Structure 1
Amino acid sequence: MNIPNRITISRILLIPIFILLLSLPLNWGNWQIGESTLPIADFAAAILFIFASVTDWVDGFYARKYNLVTNLGKFLDPLADKLLVSAALILLVEMGFAPAWVVIIIISREFAVTGLRLVAAGEGFVLAAGSMGKLKTATQMIAIAALLLHNFPFSYIGFPFGTLMLYVALFFTIVSGVDYFIKNWHVMRDSK
């Protein structure tokens, strides 16, 4: 297994730790940020999420630079992103930081695209993520990081950056999903 795929698998292995940080009743104290309070456990989860998100860029860059792009990587990388983002969004709903309807739309798009990829794989094709999908992932990760950080540093001025980015991510999620299905409709049309 090559290095980019190992990095991707490490991202997947970080997800349970991330979930535990936000799910366990950890009382490590709080930081006062502007008019809001940031639990240290949330901060630790945010740092872990940001680190895992950066590995998404690192593995892709490394794979392209050293010509290590594999079908396994094309499958694992978007799967790792979907697992990380879905876990974070569901936890943000539980925390009261994200509306459930937005998260349902985002996760539904991920299931639909994964279904299309499975049909393609059954036909012998591997569908890699396109540039719209990468933009969607980036906006989702920025929104999630901002929400996990309780909107820091924008909390000082009362600007709802995290919420705004969540709606930007929703927009790109919908647009990239439609784009993905239009570009790959032949897979559904020609499947046996």
Structure 2
Amino acid sequence: MNSISVFCGSSLGSDQTIIDQAYQLGSHMANKNITLVYGGAKIGIMGTVAQGVIDNQGKTIGIIPHFLSSKEIIHEDLTELIQTQTMHDRKVIIYEKSDGFMVIPGGFGTMDEFFEIATWGQLGLHGKPIGVLNISGYYDFLLKQSKVMVERGFLKQENLDAILVDDSIEGLLEKMHNFKPLPIPKWLNLDRV
């Protein structure tokens, strides 16, 4: 994988372990020559990941809509900055520039990005790996709820299994590297992008 999009919070939150792991993720990506694709801000967990990449001479691509450029405060030291008109445009460009997607702690925006990209994978619109870095058990309840969805017949086990989960950076990156996409659903007559 040459590039990974990291979905995460524009706030720092209150858990120092999450903050530290976000920086370590950025450092690790830079050391593995993996380009960070993300929301383009210098604040919050997203800014922390980016700083870890930048401090280790890695590459960063920030994508931010014009209306958020003052609220989220654009990071000045990015390798590349792309400004978009809408949130939807932002998501499409993030998707196009990424070989895989990683979810680390965040709020509603992070969940929106995660669920959309997971749904696209379920529909066979892409075959890229999606990883959840479960720092300090942050996503334990979401993972339990996902199992309830399977038990109640709203989610297929194979689609849940396609979401890669680990509590270590190295472990998750290894799973993402070795990921084999699900077959395209037979009812979908499209080529994957």
TM-score calculated relative to the size of structure 1 = 0.27
Of Structure 1 and Structure 2, which has the larger fraction of its residues in strand? 2
Structure with greater Cα Rg: 1
TM-score calculated relative to the size of structure 2 = 0.27
Of Structure 1 and Structure 2, which has the larger fraction of its residues in helix? 1
